[in-house]
Structure 1
Amino acid sequence: MLDYDALYALNEVVRYGGFDRGAQALSLTQSAVSQKIKRLEQNVGGPVIVRTKPLKPTPLGRELLAHFQKVSVLEEALNIESGLQESASPITVAVNNDVLATWFSLVLAKFSETRRNPVHVYNADQTQTREKLQQGGVMACISQTGTPVTGGQSIRLGTMYYQLYASPAFIARYISGSPSPEKVMQSPGLLYDEYDVTLLSDYQQTCFNLAPSFSSCHWYPSSHGFVKMAVDGVAWALLPTLQVVDEVKKGELVSLFPQQALGLPLFWHWTSIDSGALSDLTRAVKLIAKQQLKDVV
C-alpha cells in the first residue's frame, strides 16, 4: 500500500525544486519532509529523487508522481459526486513559450469561469513538452507532435505562423536596398534559447533553402524582451504573427519577407483519466485555439 502522505511530500518537493521550499509549502520542517521521502523510498525499494539543484525525480519517482496526480484527480471527481466536498486538485500542463506569450492566458480565463482548479503551467519548448507528459511530469501539454502518448489522447489545434521581422531603423542600418535572405542572415538576429535553433533552422531551410546559420544571433530568453529588442532595432527576430499585430500596425516592425511564413502545427495532448476539470480545460483549449489559430481542423 502506497503512503499517499509521503507521495504528496514528494510531489511538493519536486514541484518547488528542493526540500526547503517544499517544506515551506507543506508547513513542515525539512527534517520531517526528508523522513517522509526516505520512508517512501524504503517502501518502494529505490530512490525517488536525484538530489541535485533543482531536485529531479528518478524514473521510479516520475511513475509515482504520475500515479499520484491521477489519483488526486479521481478523488476530486468522487468527492464532488458524493457531495463530501468541493475539492480542486491542480491541473499540470506543459506549454511552449510562444503560446504562453500569445493566447494561453485566454484559455485560463475561459477555464476559470467554471472551475477553480489551480492550473500549474510549466514552460518548455514545443519539442520537449510531449516528453514531459510521457514521463508523467504533467497531465496535458501543447506539442508540435501529434502522436498520442501511451494512455493519452491528442487533437490538432491548428497552425501557428512565424515571419521574420525587423524595425525600420534596423532595415536602414543593416539592409540597403531590397532584402535578400543571405544578407539578412548575416546581420544581427535573435534566438530565444538553444531549442529556438530548431525553429530558425526550419525557417531558413523551408522558406529559403538555406543552410542553418546562427553565428550573428544574440540569445535572449524573454518573450517581451524578444519583441522589444526587435522594435528597438537591435536585431531581426522570427516571431509569431499573432504576437506582433499591434507593432506591425504601428509601423514599429516590418515583415522582411511577407510571402514567406513558417507554419508550426500545434497539438493538445492529455492523459486519459476521468476528470471533469481536465475535460473542461481541454474544451477551453479547443475553443481559444479555434479563435486564435489558422487552419483549424
Structure 2
Amino acid sequence: MPFQFEHLRTLTALVDEGTFEAAARALHVTPSAVSQRIRAMEQAVGKVLVRRTTPVATTPAGDVVLRHARQVLVLDADALGELGTGDTDPLLPVAVNADSLSTWFLDALAAVTERLGPAFEVHREDEEHTTSLLRAGTVMAAVTSTPEAVQGCTVERLGTMRYLVVCTPEFDARHLGGRRDTALLARAPMVTFDRRDDLQDRFLRQTLSTGHRGPRHYIPASQDFARAVELGMGWGAVPEAQCARALEAGELVPLAPDHPVDVHLYWQRWNLRTPALDLLTDVVRRHAAAGLHPL
C-alpha cells in the first residue's frame, strides 16, 4: 500500500488520541502536519479514511488502513527490539470483558510483562462486542464469545466462564418468600452490569420463560456489581470465582444451583507472528485453562 511509515504512525496516533490537536502533541508536530498526512493517505487510496468528528472515527476503509498501520508498527517495534536498538517496548492493545479482567486475565498480562516487557492498552468491552474492536483495527487480540474468526484473525477456544445466580439471605426473606422461590425473580430487584448485559434476562428466559418486570440497578464494574449483590441491592448472575467465598460463608445463597449461566469464551488475535503476541497468546491459553471451566 502506498503509505509512508510516518503517515501510518500519524493515523494510529490520531485514532488513539481522538483529535488532530492531541495527535500533533503526541507526535511533536503541528495539527496542520497531521491533517496533511491524513489527506495524503486519503488521496493515495481515493477514499476517506477518517471522519472529522470529535473524537475522530475511522470509516470502513480507514479500519482496513488502521489495521495495516498497527501491524506495521508492531513489526517495526519487534525488529528494533531484536536488534537492540528500540527505545520503547511494543504496545499491545487488547480487548477483554470486565469479568475476565477481574478474575483471571490480569494475571496473564502480569505474567507476560515479567517475561518480555510489552506495554498493554486494555479495552474493556462486553464479550459479545470485542470483535468489533478487532475489525476496526483498534486491538490486536480479544477475549470474545464469538467463535467465528474475524477476517485476518485466528480463533481458539479458551473455556467457559460460569455464573451463579445468587442473592443474600436477607434479600431472599424480603423478596422471595424466604424459600428462594425463583418464580418471584421476575418482579424482584435485579442487578445488571449495563444496558447490554443479557445474562440475568437470559436466565429468566431459559428457566421461567419470562422477562424481568421489576427494578433494575445498573452497576458497570465487575467488582462493584458483585458487591452490590452482596449488599442486598438485588439478585444477579455473579462469576463463580467472585462469589465462591461468600457462598461458603453463607453471605450469599444460590437461587438455582442446577442452572448456572455459562458463557463460552474464545481468543481471537491477528494472524501475525510477533514474539509479544505469540507469548501473550500462550500465557492467556494457560491462565484460561486454570481459571475457566473446559469448553
* Same fold per superposition (TM over 0.5): yes
- The corresponding residue for 1:201 is 201
* Shift, 1:84, TM fit: 4.2
What secondary structure sits across from 1:153 in the alignment? strand
Deviates more, 1:275-284 or 1:37-46: 37-46
CA contact (8 A) 1:166 1:231 kept: yes
CA-based RMSD of the aligned residues comes to 2.1
2:62 — aligned with what?
61
The Cα offsets for residues 164-190 of structure 1, whole Å up to 9 and x where unpaired, read as 121222222212131222202211001
- 1:180-191 to 2 correspondence within 5 Å? 180-191=181-192
Q: Deviations over 1:147-168 (max 9, x none)?
A: 2222221111111001112122
Q: Does structure 2 conserve the Cα–Cα contact (< 8 Å) formed by 1:185 and 1:216?
A: no
Does 1:280 pair with 2:276? no
* Alignment partner, residue 149 of structure 2: 148
CA distance in 2, matches of 1:291, 1:137: 28
Q: Give the Å deviation of 1:275.
A: 0.6
Describe the shift of the 1:235–1:29 C-alpha distance in structure 2 as closer, same or farther (beyond 3 A): farther
Closer, same or farther: CA 214–295 of 1 in aligned 2, 3 Å = farther
Deviation track 1:219-267 (CA, whole Å, cap 9, x = no partner) reads 2212232122212211111111112233333433222222220111111
Aligned residue for 1:103, secondary structure, equals helix
Further displaced range: 43-52 or 178-187: 43-52
Q: Show the 5 A alignment for 1:36-75.
A: 36-75=37-76
Task: Tell me the secondary structure at the aligned position of residue 46 of structure 1.
Answer: coil
Separation (CA, whole Å) in 1 of partners of 2:213 and 2:163: 17
> Partners of 1:254 and 1:226 in 2: how far apart?
16
Residue matched to 1:271: 270
1:227 aligns with 2:259: no
Residues 21-32 of structure 1 aligned to structure 2 (within 5 Å): 21-32=22-33
Does the 8 Å CA contact 2:183/2:208 hold for their aligned counterparts? no
- The match for 1:253 is 252
Contact 1:79 1:87 (C-alpha < 8 Å) held by counterparts: no
Calculate the TM-score normalised by the size of structure 2: 0.91
Aligned twin of 1:117? 118
Question: Which residue is equivalent to 1:290?
Answer: 289
The number of residue pairs the alignment matches comes to 294
- Whole-angstrom distance in 2 between the partners of 1:215 and 1:171: 15
Q: Unpaired runs of 5+ in structure 1?
A: none
Letter in 1 for 2:216: C
2:20, 2:169 → 1: CA distance? 50
- AA paired with 1:220? I
Residue identity in the other structure for 2:241: L
The CA distance in 1 between the partners of 2:94 and 2:166, in whole Å, is 30
TM-score for the superposition, normalised by structure 1: 0.90
Pairing 1:236–2:226 present: no
Q: Is the 8 A contact 1:161 1:262 kept in 2?
A: yes
Contact 2:63 2:135 in 1 (8 A): no
Q: Partner amino acid for 1:56?
A: A
Counterpart CA distance in 2 for 1:254 and 1:29 is 60
Deviation at 1:82, TM superposition (A): 4.2
Q: Distance in 1 between matches of 2:46 and 2:53?
A: 20
For 2:166 and 2:21, locate their aligned partners in 1 and report how far apart those are by CA, in whole Å: 44
The 2-side partners of 1:242 and 1:116 are apart by 28
* Deviation of the 1:77 alpha carbon: 3.2
